Amino acid sequence: MFADNAWEGALLDDPQTTLQPEPQLRGSNQSGMRAWNERLVLSILRRQGPMSKADIARVTGLSTQTAWVIIRALEKDGLLEKGKPQRGRVGQPSVPMSLAPDGALFLGLKIGRRSSELVLMDFVGKIRARRTLIYRWPTPGSVLEFAHGAIDAVVAEVAPDLRSRIAGLGVAMPFQLWQWSARIGAPATDLAGWETLDIRAELARAYPFPVFLQNDASSACGAELIFGDEVPAGDFLYFYVGYFIGGGIVLDGQLYTGRSGNAGAVGSMPVRGEDGRTVQLIERASISGLEELLEAAGRPAESLWETPAAWDVDAAILDRWIEAAGQGIADAALAAVALVDFDAVIIDGSMPADVRRRLVAVAAARMRSLNLSGVGEPLFAEGSLGPAARTLGAAAIPLSERFLVDRNGLLKPA
């Protein structure tokens, strides 16, 4: 696959190592399964961290010989690297294997309704470069110009011997963007070009690596699944509060995107409005609603987009918005839990951490105040990636598609 490294003979594992079982991730010792087994080993190391060769064999269920052959191949390809030997109580020291940061690089392009961002991410999830464009609304021409310029600039900064390790570009954006012109205050003619533009194919023609496309909220959910600090086991519903609220669904530990790639479109869910009438969640729990409240009161709203991690907004207006958004999310979560017995509800967004914390607390409290007869109350938790979630999710698309275990297999490179 990539570079060539030496490999030493196998060493005994550390008897003190405590491993988390992976009952749903089992390898195969049959021929023809090498691609799956390689992804399996990489997925285990990403999830559980460095471990010895013998421990990898035990956790994956592979025979020792099969596991060591795979580890040797991955190390030879530059995807794994040895750590410092660790001596246990008996036997030879154990050498942990871990993901090599330079093993593969990924580009992620997030196209939003107020900004676009491009990042370069390494194999362990560290962002190595970033470019951002803020606009009033996203015209196809301005976004493509930014994307090409940012990709060219970022790739030029990569060491020449590492450029061949760029494994793909993921694009995360709202689907059917041309239909949102009225809601974001843009002339319909400025967004009309999105209806005919195949941005994945357009970018794929310009670069030697595969390009993938995914809904932006689903991408944020995927990023939480891969990089989140404390991702709950089992099934969870994910809300991402951006300019418009969106969401994602995780079933059996895998991102579920549905037939059209738009599963988890929570913004369209009917909830109670301020006057008791039914409205869509997008009207109750989107940052655009906070922007409208600020502008109506003659207060500045620029910090919502310019400094998403540190808002400078009127406290009373923010309190009003958090209350409305929390109630709307609670209503939507109850409807969702009635259909799918979600273990948890995760809320994240392009907002400061303290605002997110308050929003989660309000949503959980409002959920408990609803009639929960016949349904189980899910755990409410904060997401851990904040404003970076959608861009990280974009870069994680080629990571997942090319290197990790993925039961969905829905994304296809252009």
User: 166-205 pLDDT, tens per residue?
Assistant: 999 999 999 989 998 888 889 999 999 999 999 999 999 9
Q: At what angle do helices 53-60 and 64-76 cross, to 10 degrees?
A: 120
What pLDDT shows up at residue 407? 44
In angstroms, the CA 358 to CA 211 distance is 37
Structure-block tokens of residue 353: 């951490």
Structure-block tokens of residue 333: 């979560």
- Provide the 3-class DSSP secondary structure of residue 321: helix
Structure-block tokens of residue 231: 């991702």
What pLDDT shows up at residue 95? 86
- pLDDT beneath 50: ranges in the chain: 1-23, 31-33, 407-414
* E strands in 13-165: 80-82, 97-99, 105-111, 115-121, 127-134
Contact predicate 394/361, CB 8 Å = no
Q: 361-412 pLDDT, tens per residue?
A: 999 999 999 999 999 999 999 999 999 999 999 999 999 999 998 544 333 3
Domains and CATH numbers, the chain: 1-99 (1.10.10.10), 103-219+391-403 (3.30.420.40), 229-384 (3.30.420.40)
What pLDDT shows up at residue 47? 87
Contact predicate 322/355, CB 8 Å = yes
Residue reference for tokens 């493509």: 144
Contact predicate 130/118, CB 8 Å = yes
Residue 106 pairs with which residues in a beta bridge?
Answer: 121
